[in-house]
Structure 1
Amino acid sequence: METVMALTVSLDFGFLQEDVDSFMKQPGNETADSALRKLDEQYQKYKYMELNLSQKKLRLKNQIPQITQTLEILRHMQKKKETTEPMDTHFLLADSVYCKALVPPTDKVCLWLGANVMLEYDIDEAQALLEKNLSTASRNLETLEEDLDFLRDQFTTTEVNMARVYNWDVKRRSRENLKSAESKS
Structure 2
Amino acid sequence: MSDERSEVAEKVVTGIPKAVFVDDVDEYMKRADINESAEVALRNLEESHSKYKFMEYNLTTKKARLKTQVPDIKTSLNIVRHLQSKKDSPEDLKMHFQLSDNLYAKAKVPPTEKVCLWLGANVMLEYQLDDAEKLLQKNQEAAIASLEQVDADLGFLRDQLTTIEVNMARVYNWDVKRRQAAKGTSPAISS
TM-score normalised by structure 2 residue count: 0.87
Match of 2:39 in 1: 33
Cα contact 2:88–2:111 (8 A) shared by 1: yes
* CA shift in 2, pair 1:3/1:87, >3 Å: farther
Q: 1:145-184 to 2 correspondence within 5 Å?
A: 145-178=151-184
3-state SS of paired residue (1:28): coil
Alpha carbon RMSD of aligned pairs, Å?
A: 1.6
Match of 2:60 in 1: 54
Say whether residues 1:100 and 2:97 are aligned partners.
no
Higher helix content, 1 or 2: 1
Question: Distance in 2 between the 1:38 and 1:173 partners?
Answer: 20
Cα contact 1:4–1:147 (8 A) shared by 2: no
- Which residue identity lines up with residue 82 of structure 1 in the other structure? D
Match of 1:135 in 2: 141
Match of 2:28 in 1: 23
Question: Distance in 2 between the 1:46 and 1:88 partners?
Answer: 51
Question: Distance in 2 between the 1:109 and 1:150 partners?
Answer: 41
3-state SS of paired residue (1:8): coil
The total of aligned residue pairs comes to 175
Question: Distance in 2 between the 1:118 and 1:49 partners?
Answer: 32
Which blocks of at least 5 consecutive residues in structure 1 are unaligned? 180-185
Say whether residues 1:8 and 2:17 are aligned partners.
yes
Match of 1:84 in 2: 90
- Identity among equivalent pairs (%): 54
- Which residue identity lines up with residue 43 of structure 2 in the other structure? R
TM-score normalised by structure 1 residue count: 0.89
The CA deviation at 1:91 is: 1.2
Deviations 1:84-135 (A, max 9, x none): 1000011122333221100000010000000111000001100000000000
* CA shift in 2, pair 1:168/1:58, >3 Å: same
